[in-house]
Structure 1
Amino acid sequence: MTDNSTKTDLFSPSRLGGLQLSNRIVMAPLTRSRAGDDGVPTELHASYYAQRATAGLIIAEATNISPQGRGYALTPGIWTDEQVVGWKRVTDAVHAAGGKIVSQLWHVGRFSHVDLQPEGKAPVAPSAIKSEGQTYTNEGMVDVSMPRALETAEIPGLIADYVHAAANAKRAGFDGIEVHSANSYLLDQFIRDSTNQRTDRYGGSIENRTRLTQEVVEAVLGIWEPGRVGIRLSPTTPDAGNTPMDSTVMETYGHLIRKLNRFNLAYLHFVEGSTAGPRAVPAGVDLDALRAQFEGAYIGNNGYDLELAIARRAENKVDAVAFGRPFIANPDLVERLRRGVPLTVAPRNTYYGGGANGLTDWPNGDMSAQKALDKEILPVAN
């Protein structure tokens, strides 16, 4: 039997800020679209995450901070007491299995539809610029709606929503939180000059465009100690409506990262390349150079296999590695990687929606046959 733990310290205990981990393998946030219309996690979620608790850290699926933050049907929230109770079942199950789990706080911004918004109102965004693409509602796939620009006076209320969600995550028993400032969702929309045409203190200069992300981080630190707060960034991801990248990626995200250093966060979680896509980056962009400007721990994400994870860890380019899709069909992924066991690949039509099939019915151990499951495809991305 292969023992890859002799080749790397990926399988050894580690620490990310105030989070003590059993290994350096992280379960990336994966939207699975199995909550109800009320956004309440169920016992199914508890079983799903507990099965994967051998990950050094689980980053739970992106979770809506408010009704306004929703962009896809069937995704969980964390703004109501009922949702807190649902998540408490999840965190209790993960902790009973010996794992650690953090909540990823999510507001989609312009990538939404009026059917998903309170009172059928328009989604909000930094500027009234319509996204491309479609999202999933209770009526099926529809084009995303035209957003309206947030008023400057609304920003404090938006930040308060993040604080409320952060407090609810603590009540729900999470070990920490991750601020989702990636994948072309709301905070990333403020960062990018392609989607931010504001003329107030949240638009124009790099300092202004990165202000909201900094203010959200600072605000949630009133609830959580810095060593239990992480942040996710994706400088070169064009997802969620084919959002163009910022025109000065290195300058913009470098500025933000240097500003974040003053908070002593638990980690920076970087999407290297395009989320769920290629790892290649445009000419003139050096993600390792950006990562080097962060003074804390670093989680690398996107397209990792064991070989790449071992190589980048050996070069000290990552402190931990986040695996996403491999965790879907391999609940015991850490052990399979350690032993060199071939991985099961889940068909894409099991990713989103439905019940236990394709979610909690993947067995542990060696598997030679692929499952043939037939599920509705709901194209959602974290």
Structure 2
Amino acid sequence: MPSLFDPTQAGDIHLANRIVLAPLTRNRAPDAIPTSLMAEYYAQRASGGLLVTEATAISHQGQGYADVPGLYGTAQLDGWKEVTRAVHEAGGKIVVQLWHVGRVSHTELQPDGGQPVAPSAITARTKTVLLKDGAPTFVATSEPRALRADELPGIVHAYEAAARNAVETAGFDGVEVHGANGYLLDQFLKRGSNQRTDDYGGSIENRARLLLEVTRAVTGAIGGGRTGIRLSPVTPANDVHDADPQPLFDYVVRQLATLNLAYIHIIEGATGGPREIADRPFDYAALKTAYREAGGKGAWMVNNGYDQALAKQAVANGADLIAFGKPYIANPDLVERLRRNAPLNLPDQATFYGGGAKGYTDYPTL
């Protein structure tokens, strides 16, 4: 029977085990530049089969929170080089999550104080994080403007350039396209945030167009075997919703199947919340079947609320990779603790967003 601790493959990336560090925003990159403290944090967790970094902005326009890292400047790439070097020296593999937040932003974070951008000019009923007197503060998002069709090729190019810089300059083993959690690509997918009437709105094919154009551009730049993608069919995160997600996401994964991706990363249920949502039923087994029947061979990664027992069952049922979030924050040696069935440290939620080493690199190992 397969085990969490078996080596496996995600496209071109060989993994020592099936345990993945989920992408976790920690707001510790002043001026969007990764730091030595971040290098220490990721290197501490390098025993996982794969580390997925916190979401990382592909452009200044794509930034939506204070002190999140970027991939669009020389200092940012130099900072990430230190991170990837530390992880590789510790024997790990690491990919960077490519992020454009779309409407989940604030004018204070945008170039020249401009409006955030979105598929349609609909404000997200959610909050973002600004720094006030040095402390992280949750504030309502700003009203966005609708992207013009002639702006979309530039966004596709920004993803492509970020992917190329990530692998060729910063030393990442690959990238993960963030198509989940109510950020820009997910905003285009779902009817609640996309009310366009052009080629990027209306039908399933049109709403999926930008996500697929981005993913094709990224795979063209670095190869499908070094590209993953994250999807969240039913999460209500950041005020996104679609009345009929099953045919939408079945279509999306069938199209992704042709790109020879390293992996598909699926958030089951509400991000960081219940795995089942009563008014948003979804058949994840059918989604995986749609992907495989269309020829998709990428590793199937599952995420949301996994503990050891649930992860073991998921692997037995055919999942290739299991992403762990909060347990990995508090347990840098999570792999060894799971292997020994040892007790887990509890995370300090007060230190999740912003700050220094406390609640970041100071959790004890066995």
Q: TM-score range by the shorter chain?
A: over 0.9
Aligned residue in 1 for 2:194: 196
Equivalences for residues 261-276 of structure 1 within 5 A: 261-276=257-272
Give secondary structure in 2 for the equivalent of 1:67.
Answer: coil
Instruction: Give, in whole Å, the separation in 2 of the partners of 1:275 and 1:111.
Output: 16
Equivalences for residues 1-382 of structure 1 within 5 A: 8-36=2-30, 38-139=31-132, 140-170=137-167, 171-240=169-238, 242-243=239-240, 245-281=241-277, 282=279, 284-294=281-291, 295=296, 296-316=298-318, 318-365=319-366
Count of residue pairs the alignment pairs up? 355
CA contact (8 A) 2:36 2:82 kept: yes
- Displacement of 1:348: 0.8
Write the letter of the residue equivalent to 2:9.
Answer: R
- Displacement of 1:8: 4.8
Instruction: Give, in whole Å, the separation in 1 of the partners of 2:52 and 2:70.
Output: 15
Write the letter of the residue equivalent to 1:160.
Answer: H
**Structure 2 unpaired stretches of 5+:** none
* C-alpha distance after superposition, 1:51-89 (max 9, x if no partner): 000000000100011000011001000100110000000
Write the letter of the residue equivalent to 1:210.
Answer: A
Instruction: Give, in whole Å, the separation in 1 of the partners of 2:351 and 2:331.
Output: 13
| TM-score between the two structures when normalised by the length of structure 1 | 0.91
Runs of 4+ that moved beyond 4 A: none
Instruction: Give, in whole Å, the separation in 2 of the partners of 1:57 and 1:33.
Output: 21
| TM-score between the two structures when normalised by the length of structure 2 | 0.95
Write the letter of the residue equivalent to 2:242.
Answer: D
- Displacement of 1:247: 1.5
Instruction: Give, in whole Å, the separation in 2 of the partners of 1:23 and 1:68.
Output: 36
- Displacement of 1:133: 2.0
Instruction: Give, in whole Å, the separation in 1 of the partners of 2:275 and 2:349.
Output: 20
- Displacement of 1:357: 0.8
> Structure 1's 21 and 206: CA in aligned 2 closer, same or farther, altered over 3 A?
same
Give secondary structure in 1 for the equivalent of 2:354.
Answer: coil
**Structure 1 unpaired stretches of 5+:** 1-6, 366-382
> Structure 1's 151 and 262: CA in aligned 2 closer, same or farther, altered over 3 A?
same
Write the letter of the residue equivalent to 1:204.
Answer: G
Give secondary structure in 2 for the equivalent of 1:328.
Answer: helix
* C-alpha distance after superposition, 1:191-227 (max 9, x if no partner): 0011101111111100000000000001111221111
Instruction: Give, in whole Å, the separation in 1 of the partners of 2:206 and 2:62.
Output: 22
Write the letter of the residue equivalent to 1:229.
Answer: T
Higher helix proportion (structure 1 or 2):
2
Instruction: Give, in whole Å, the separation in 2 of the partners of 1:315 and 1:110.
Output: 37
Instruction: Give, in whole Å, the separation in 2 of the partners of 1:292 and 1:222.
Output: 26
Instruction: Give, in whole Å, the separation in 1 of the partners of 2:193 and 2:305.
Output: 27
Write the letter of the residue equivalent to 1:266.
Answer: A
Instruction: Give, in whole Å, the separation in 2 of the partners of 1:227 and 1:187.
Output: 21
* C-alpha distance after superposition, 1:137-186 (max 9, x if no partner): 13333211000000000001111111111111011000000000000100
Q: CA RMSD in A?
A: 1.0
Instruction: Give, in whole Å, the separation in 2 of the partners of 1:283 and 1:345.
Output: 30
CA contact (8 A) 2:234 2:280 kept: no
- Displacement of 1:135: 1.3
Give secondary structure in 2 for the equivalent of 1:230.
Answer: strand
Instruction: Give, in whole Å, the separation in 2 of the partners of 1:110 and 1:315.
Output: 37
Instruction: Give, in whole Å, the separation in 1 of the partners of 2:358 and 2:337.
Output: 21
Instruction: Give, in whole Å, the separation in 2 of the partners of 1:210 and 1:34.
Output: 33
